[in-house]
Structure 1
Amino acid sequence: MKAVLLILCSAALLGGCGKDEEAAEPVRPVLSTVVQPQVQAQLGRFAGTIQARYESTLGFRVSGRIARRWLDVGAQVKPGDILATLDPTDQQNQLRAAEGDLARVQAQWINAQANARRQQQLYDRGVGAQAQLDIAQTDLKTTGASLEQARAAVSQARDQLDYSTLRSDNAAVVTAWRAEAGQTVSAGQEVVTLARPDVKEAVIDLPIGLAEQLSKDLTFTVAAQLDPAVNTTATLRELEPQADATTRTRRARLTLASTPAAFHLGTAISVNLSSAVTPRSELPLSALLERDGKTQVWVLDTQQKTVALRDVTLIDRTASSIVVASGVQPGERVVTAGVNSLKPGQPVSFDEDAQ
């Protein structure tokens, strides 16, 4: 009898333990991420170069054959430095001819002065005719005008000779030669391109669709491709109105907030575009739970180590992520895996260092 009672008591105890175990919720391990606020929307990343804001293409002001190029591409020049010279033979001949004409007219003017003085003296003594005096004075004025014309011709010939030497107007860097020594060029033809290195800007090509949506609140982050640690911000200065027919892009020129020393002319750069947006958060697509037309996520209670469903508002969705406008707060932790096997209040374990 005692043995039977002992067996019955043991069975009752075992039955009670089983009910407690069934009542306890299993602790489920989950993956999670911390909600990070996003106030800038990334619009893209583009390659570009550092260029001079001010460039000028120079040419000779007279025609002729280029006798010599004094500098190569990449050379730095100061104001007044010689870039190239023409064969000056034609200009020298013109100057000599003009100087000869000037000497001839000067001799005529001296004779006209002497004749005018003589006729004036004769007229004052009463032995000269008024007509002769008038002729002498008119000849003096005509010769004086010819003298001024001859002097102007000499000055012009000297200028033409000076124009056969091409000089730099500013401190700059030679970036391109468009004519070679021995080549005959016409007046105004492009010969050399100079870039002023004191003011630099970033130049990139943007797709037409993006270029048409650019706004003033856009932020450009400019970094050197070889060393991203060298970077600065920039603002849009100019957007070319016409798209390139081949690439279907429009060129944008950006004013740099500062110019790092490593930003030399021609430096390859990477430009990130971002725009200010209303606060939002980006989460993995695996965090999304869709039921009964609702979009929800599991939010972790890090103190109680349980989960709760939270309705969220989506504003964008990609193949790997969602962008949430409301429903979660920065710093909260959201489950990113196994969302279909959880239920409200379920105990979970998670890696508190996971971001």
Structure 2
Amino acid sequence: MKRLGLLCAAMMLVACSEKEAPPEPVRPVLSVTVKALNEESLGRFAGSIQARYESNTGFRVGGRIARRNVDVGAEVQKGTLLATLDPSDQQNQLRSAQGDLARIQAQLINAQANARRQQALFDRGVGAQAQLDVATTDLKTTQASLDQARAAVSQSKDQLSYTELRADHKAVVTAWNAEAGQVVTAGQQVVTLAQPDIKEAVIDLPDTLVDQLPSDVVFSVAAQLDPSINTTAIIREIEPQAQSATRTRRARLSLAETPDGFRLGTAISVTLSSAIKPRLELPLTALQEVDGKSRIWVIDTQSKTVSPRDVTVISRTEHSVVLAGGVENGERVVSAGVNSLKPGQSVKLDEDSQ
């Protein structure tokens, strides 16, 4: 009996050892979908929408500004009165010139009458040639003085018209540099007019970045308040020298399109990117180092299992790695918890961690 008991116990131990090991537990994991990168971001900068063509306008004569007729932001047509000077001096000059003209016109009438009398006397043989010559010369001199007086009147009228500052073209008033009551000189900048038909994006770029911009750089321009209003742009002009205070250079970008939301002065966000050879970027936590080799864990989305795969790392940062290959665009990769996985282990997928 004792032997029979020992035999039964031995058989029970053998049966237990032949049972299969319990299955690996299903592990919940974070994962990301692999996406190939075709562009490299070079930075994001703030700027504004401005008119390509602006003109700084001033009065053609000096004086005291009597009135401003429009405000900043006003749309004006060609010939619109923008501002006026006190015209008192120019009016006085015009009246003086007109008085001189009237006086010389009276002198001309006398000179013409005297020349006719001397000619008549000379023709009858009772007048002297010298007196006729003097009368003829006086007539010509008075005629020249009349022409000069008429030119002076015309000039005075022009000077009076210059006391009115009018728009030369359809434009938007973007700045006033003088106020009513202020005395300005001829040619001094008073108002800035922008032609609204052609707009462009204006940003300030670091001097060091400008020298490294590739020829195929792409600018994405979007309104800061509504990013859905966007377009692309190319470089039209970059200042040749950096500003001493900020070490930046102003860049003007030609817009591919001009959405209605891009009004003058609209604040914009400009993103710089450049086309690159397609590459794969993953979170640094998705990488596992084993025996000097780098590998990742790829998820079979059908069976919900994982398998390791060796990869080649091009570069890495504090948070990400760039791979030369080893994984395809669209595949799903474990992004956290890779050190506790085993080949063929079942996993529970969570949402993308990106």
2:344 alignment partner in structure 1: 346
CA pair 325-209 structure 1, distance change in 2 beyond 3 A: farther
C-alpha separation in 2, matches of 1:133 and 1:151: 27
Post-superposition shift, 1:91?
0.4
2:280 alignment partner in structure 1: 281
C-alpha separation in 1, matches of 2:34 and 2:276: 17
Structure 1, unaligned runs of 5 or more: none
1:92 alignment partner in structure 2: 91
C-alpha separation in 2, matches of 1:119 and 1:351: 122
Post-superposition shift, 1:227?
2.1
Post-superposition shift, 1:84?
1.4
CA pair 318-117 structure 1, distance change in 2 beyond 3 A: farther
C-alpha separation in 2, matches of 1:264 and 1:303: 51
Q: Check whether the contact 1:287–1:298 (CA below 8 A) recurs between aligned residues.
A: yes
1:199 alignment partner in structure 2: 198
Post-superposition shift, 1:13?
2.6
C-alpha separation in 2, matches of 1:129 and 1:325: 115
CA pair 293-157 structure 1, distance change in 2 beyond 3 A: farther
- Residue identity over aligned pairs, in percent, reads 63
1:150 alignment partner in structure 2: 149
What value does the CA root-mean-square deviation take over the aligned residues?
A: 3.0
1:80 alignment partner in structure 2: 79
1:62 alignment partner in structure 2: 61
Q: Check whether the contact 1:30–1:348 (CA below 8 A) recurs between aligned residues.
A: no
C-alpha separation in 2, matches of 1:293 and 1:124: 129
C-alpha separation in 1, matches of 2:79 and 2:137: 46
CA pair 327-140 structure 1, distance change in 2 beyond 3 A: farther
What whole-Å deviation, never above 9, does each CA across 1:285-324 have from its counterpart, x for those lacking one? 111233555443333344563413222231x422111223
What whole-Å deviation, never above 9, does each CA across 1:89-137 have from its counterpart, x for those lacking one? 1101111111122223333334444455555566666666665555544
What whole-Å deviation, never above 9, does each CA across 1:160-190 have from its counterpart, x for those lacking one? 0000111112222322222222221111112
1:172-321 alignment, distance < 5 Å:
172-291=171-290, 293-303=292-302, 305-314=305-314, 316-321=315-320
Q: Check whether the contact 1:285–1:319 (CA below 8 A) recurs between aligned residues.
A: yes
Q: Check whether the contact 1:173–1:194 (CA below 8 A) recurs between aligned residues.
A: yes
The DSSP-based 3-state class of the residue aligned with 1:31 is strand
C-alpha separation in 1, matches of 2:27 and 2:270: 44
2:160 alignment partner in structure 1: 161
AA partner of residue 52 (structure 2): R
CA pair 179-27 structure 1, distance change in 2 beyond 3 A: closer
1:21 alignment partner in structure 2: 21
AA partner of residue 246 (structure 1): A
AA partner of residue 157 (structure 1): S
C-alpha separation in 2, matches of 1:137 and 1:297: 113
AA partner of residue 349 (structure 1): V
AA partner of residue 226 (structure 1): L
1:118-137 alignment, distance < 5 Å:
134-137=133-136
Q: How high is the TM-score relative to the length of structure 1? A: 0.85
Post-superposition shift, 1:80?
1.3
C-alpha separation in 2, matches of 1:11 and 1:322: 51
C-alpha separation in 2, matches of 1:348 and 1:130: 133
Post-superposition shift, 1:40?
1.5
CA pair 282-122 structure 1, distance change in 2 beyond 3 A: farther
What whole-Å deviation, never above 9, does each CA across 1:14-41 have from its counterpart, x for those lacking one? 2222xx428x776655432111011111
Q: How high is the TM-score relative to the length of structure 2? A: 0.85
Post-superposition shift, 1:270?
1.9
Task: Tell me which moved more, 156-165 or 302-311.
Answer: 302-311
AA partner of residue 334 (structure 1): V
Structure 2, unaligned runs of 5 or more: none
1:12 alignment partner in structure 2: 14
CA pair 127-43 structure 1, distance change in 2 beyond 3 A: same
